[in-house]
Amino acid sequence: MNRQIRGLGIGLAVLFIALFVQLNWLQVVDAKRLNDNPGNSRAVVRDFVQPRGAIQTSDGVVIAESTPTNDDFQRQRSYPEGALFGHLTGYFSFTYGTDGVERTYNDALTGRDQKFRLDRLSDILLQKEHSANVTLSVSKALQQVATQALGQRKGAVVALDPRTGAILAMADYPADDPNPLAGHNQAAVRDAWTALNSDPAKPLLPRSYRERYFPGSSFKVVTASTGLATGTATVSQPVYPFVSQIALPQTTQPLQNFGGEVCGGPMPEALRVSCNTSFAQLGLDIGADKLAAGAQSFGFTKTPPIDLPFAQPSTFPTAAELAHDKPALAKSAIGQQDVAATPLQMALVAAGIANDGVVMTPHVMAEVRDSEGRVVQTYEPKAWTTAVPPDVAHTVRDMMVGVVKGGTGTLAQIPGVTVAGKTGTAQTGRDTSHTWFVSFAPAEDPKVAVAVIVEDQPNVNEATGGTVAAPIAKAVMQAALAGP
Amino acid sequence: MIANTALRDSVVFRSRRNTELGLIILAALLTAAGYTLASLGRSATLPVDIVPFLGVILALLAVAHVATRRLAPGANGIMLPLAGLLNGIGYVFIARLDKDLAALQALWTALGIVAFVATLVLVRRVRDLERFRYTFALVGIGLLLMPLLPVVGRNINGSRLWIRAGTVTFQPGELAKIVLCIFFASYLVEKRELLSEARHRVGAMFVPNFKYFGPVALAWAVSLLIMTAERDLGSSLLFFTLFIAMLWVATGRGAYLAIGGVMFAGGAFLAWRSFGHVQDRVTIWINPWKTAGGTGYQIVQALFAFAAGGLAGTNIAQGSPQRIPAVSTDFIFAAIGEELGLLGTTAIVIAFLLLVATGIRIALRAEPPFEKLLAAGLTTILGVQAFVIIGGVTRLVPLTGITLPFVSYGGSSLLANYALLALLLRISHDQGEREQAEARALTETRA
């Protein structure tokens, strides 16, 4: 029988060799094709189930964290502060991907960007977790102040440190609570997503850096700066005529001041009362090339390199578009026509003036720490764009101080602190106006710059627009300066 | 002189047992390492109960080891550690997949060890089994038919393979394999002269007398019957293969292999024509992608699991094998493939290959034909069963639900396989004793 038994042994060995070949085929040769198979949600899940670090505020409040679960996904992402930081953290959703800091710092949170990553089995033994925690420059304290000051009015508040570009607060209303999108019940997640998307108030839209509005008179800061920088005007010359409207070239339609108000004077006076006719004239005097270049030097038409996804560039017409369209040039100079700015961009305009003319790159990340608490990355401030020379910035700053001292922005005054600011009121064509306030403080040593927009305010004009937005900016600046 | 040889005997036997003990400790340490990795993978902490865990494994295997030392000291020393290793790795994965099942599996492992010891105690000489041949035949058929009985029989996943007593379900077919293997071995050994007589010539081949085809036809009929009544493709495939292999080993007639092949093809075709679930299995095997969201889901998820594991695996508790239905039982090998990678699956396949090779070696060395044939048959059960399920989950062959010996969750399977192991060790020990006796006789003659 031994012959047969040997044969049986060989037969069984052949079967096992076939198994070995098949395993090599599946796990090595064909593995990539199987992993890339569109029906294979395992790869998506694999990314999804990786350990993921927490996101916390500069004052140590956890705003995104993962806790173990017993289901397929192994971890549940949760956002303890809900909508308060909804647009900053973004969401981490199996069905809808990621947004916000969850998206931009995905590699840091999962530890994928760490250089000395060992592979799989061995890294579990030697270095069990390489996910990292991201600390933001935003504090919960200031975020709360901004959110409460804005209240339930559609709009946005952006506060940043003009010296470093660090975002200190970034509040939108409405903002969504990301928790429902991070759920593991896909049907419930889809329902939540559909509801958020069909909401006309657009709670998923981070207005602060993705929505563009007519900047209106707040843009006059840019026009004033460009006028000074190009030598088109000084603080004393020209003296703009006191009129209620001016005739524009190429059209019979005159450009009017709000409510037919009569205003004029030298640039500081015109800025103090936000005189449209004076700034329209200044714009015409500067000319298309230089005004477009001036807007660009503040960052208009460029996407702010902020570490948040899908930031929108603010728009300003090209020099060519304005060269032969004088009415458009005049209206662009007062922030109308085709000018549109994100709240972030307007905060950067204020910050540029505050920081001696240099606009710093805006950012929300302060530092990244590994799971042991060691700092692996610290944000290094860098300049984004040079808006104006320092002397021009100082001049504009003084004019903006005038606006708050005795102009349209008096409601932003803070006792004991010199505040520089500029109001803006942009008509929406719906019998309402978007009201703006851009500001920074203290004027002599700026530590915080703030832009506020409140949408669709009824019954406001250039003089009264400041009453809506300026107090919000004031509250945020006051809290930021009181600081921890 | 006699004292000398007795001493030498015990030295040879003791060295086998010491090898076994060393390997058992190694297997226990490997299992404990796997358990630690699973805990690290799950919660990045060391398991709190690692010391008692290691203690329990060592204690269980030590019981089996002491039993072999006392009852079969001359038996091969590597099979028990291999089984213990497979059992341990299986347990680690079951614990990682389902805590409740793990507690049961621990209990079943203990009962498996009891079955191992009991088999060694009850079967003191392998040849004693020959005497109860027809009793075994009846018991085997009885066990096979038990699930079909009313009241105790249970349908699980469309197959009627289980019996239930109280809350415990049991698959008697697992034990029937061994019992029928004993019957086949004794029957075929007795009839092998007759069965191997070539009387007829078909083409170039001499074939045995047709009247002795009865056993083959019976095996064929029985496996088809099981397939029909209990919808158990895996077991019927195993039975048929086992019987043909044993028939061939006993007689050395290639004709049986040819006839078996033809009948297998015929049976397979008949089954495919008659049964929807057989057709489904084949369709899924040929193209699982077409029904990846439906009937092909399980195998497609298993293939994804193997691919996700790659070379080194995701590490235990870091993959997502839970998405494969029946991952703790039939598909446990896919979980190992995902989390231990090709390295892990290769280790498992090699462990089975070593078990099979050792079984074949035991069969080759055994002198009495019955023991030879029984060892070959038991080894075939182990090898073919491992191949059928591993091949099934890797889509090498159509999937037939069957457990992976020692690794899958399942009480009946563990019990049966430990009993099978004990029988192989008993055969090995008997042969060892014979060899010692011969050596002793030789020495004494010389002296």
pLDDT in tens, chain A (484 residues): 899 999 999 999 999 999 999 999 999 998 888 887 777 777 667 667 778 899 999 999 999 999 888 777 778 899 999 999 999 999 998 878 889 999 999 888 887 665 434 444 444 444 445 788 999 999 999 999 999 999 999 999 999 999 999 999 999 999 999 999 998 888 898 899 999 999 999 999 999 999 999 999 999 999 999 999 999 999 998 999 999 999 998 888 899 888 788 999 999 999 999 999 999 999 999 999 999 999 999 999 999 999 999 999 999 999 999 999 999 999 999 999 889 999 999 999 999 999 999 999 999 999 998 877 888 889 999 999 999 999 999 999 999 999 999 988 999 999 999 999 999 998 887 888 899 999 999 999 999 999 999 998 887 776 666 789 999 999 999 999 997 6
Chain-chain contact of B40 with A9 (C-beta, under 8 angstroms): no
Closest Cα to residue A79, out of A183, A171, A152, A155? A183
Buried b (16+ CB within 10 A) or exposed e, B389-416: bbbbbbbbbbbbbbbbbbbbbbbbbbbb
CA-to-CA separations, A340 to A71, A228, A306, A463, in angstroms, rounded: 47, 22, 18, 21
CA-to-CA separations, A34 to A39, B312, B315, in angstroms, rounded: 9, 16, 19
Q: Can you point out the beta strands (E) in B93-215?
A: 153-156, 159-165, 168-170, 198-202, 205-208
Chain-chain contact of B289 with A39 (C-beta, under 8 angstroms): yes
Closest Cα to residue A419, out of A395, A445, A452? A445
Contacts of A8 in chain B (CB under 8 A): 245, 248-249, 360, 363, 376, 379-380
Catalytic-role residue among A137, A217, A225, A433: A217
Query: Is B181 in a helix, a strand, or coil?
Result: helix
> Can you tell me the distance from the alpha carbon of A313 to that of A305, in angstroms, rounded to the nearest whole number?
10
* pLDDT confidence of residue A276: 93
Chain-chain contact of A1 with B248 (C-beta, under 8 angstroms): no
Judged by a CB distance cut-off of 8 A, whether residue A15 touches chain B is: yes
Inter-chain contacts counted by CB atoms under 8 A, chains A and B:
154
* pLDDT confidence of residue B216: 61
Neighbour tally for B201: CB within 10 Å: 9
Chain B residue with the nearest C-alpha to that of A67:
B43
* pLDDT confidence of residue B322: 82
DSSP letter (8 states) at residue A361: P
> Can you tell me the distance from the alpha carbon of B148 to that of A466, in angstroms, rounded to the nearest whole number?
87
E strand or H helix at A409: none
* pLDDT confidence of residue A112: 67
* pLDDT confidence of residue A120: 46
Closest Cα to residue A241, out of A286, A280, A290? A280
Judged by a CB distance cut-off of 8 A, whether residue A186 touches chain B is: no
Contacts of B390 in chain A (CB under 8 A): 19
Chain-chain contact of B391 with A129 (C-beta, under 8 angstroms): no
CA of B252 to nearest chain A CA: how many angstroms apart? 6
> Can you tell me the distance from the alpha carbon of B139 to that of B133, in angstroms, rounded to the nearest whole number?
10
The CA radius of gyration of chain A, in Å to the nearest whole number, is 28
User: How does pLDDT run along chain B (447 residues), one tens digit per residue?
Assistant: 444 555 556 778 888 899 999 999 999 999 999 999 888 877 777 888 888 888 888 999 999 999 999 999 999 999 999 999 999 999 999 998 888 888 889 999 999 999 999 999 999 988 888 888 888 888 888 888 788 777 667 676 666 666 666 556 678 888 888 998 998 898 888 888 777 776 666 666 656 666 666 666 676 677 667 766 777 777 888 888 898 899 899 888 888 888 888 888 888 888 888 888 788 888 889 888 887 777 888 899 899 999 988 888 888 887 888 888 888 888 899 999 999 999 999 999 999 999 999 999 999 999 999 999 999 999 999 999 999 999 999 999 988 878 899 999 888 899 999 999 999 999 999 999 888 888 888 888 776
Question: Does the annotation count A217 as an active-site position?
Answer: yes
| Amino acid present at A262 | V
> Can you tell me the distance from the alpha carbon of A78 to that of A91, in angstroms, rounded to the nearest whole number?
9
Do residues B116 and B159 lie in contact, with contact meaning Cβ atoms separated by under 8 Å? Answer: no
Sheet with B153-156: list strands edge to edge: B153-156, B159-165, B168-170
E strand or H helix at A133: strand A132-136
Please name every residue paired with B424 in a beta bridge, in sequence order, or none if there are none: none
Judged by a CB distance cut-off of 8 A, whether residue A34 touches chain B is: yes
E strand or H helix at A431: none
Closest Cα to residue A108, out of A365, A408, A368? A368
Burial class, A298, CB count within 10 angstroms (exposed 0-12 / middle 13-18 / buried 19+): buried
Best residue in B247, B370, B396 for a mutation probing chain A (most A CBs within 10 Å): B396
**Nearest residue, CB atoms, A120 vs list B43, B312, B352:** B312
* pLDDT confidence of residue B1: 44
Both tokens of residue A120?
Answer: 């799989």
Report pTM.
0.63
Phi, psi (degrees; rounded to nearest 5) at A455: -80, 155
Chain-chain contact of B306 with A26 (C-beta, under 8 angstroms): yes
Chain A residue with the nearest C-alpha to that of B333:
A23
Do residues A146 and A159 lie in contact, with contact meaning Cβ atoms separated by under 8 Å? Answer: yes
Chain-chain contact of B323 with A72 (C-beta, under 8 angstroms): yes
Instruction: For chain A, positions 261-300, list CB contacts with chain B under 8 A.
Output: none
Instruction: For chain A, positions 114-143, list CB contacts with chain B under 8 A.
Output: 119-121, 124-125, 128-129
> Can you tell me the distance from the alpha carbon of B155 to that of B133, in angstroms, rounded to the nearest whole number?
31
Chain-chain contact of B305 with A42 (C-beta, under 8 angstroms): yes
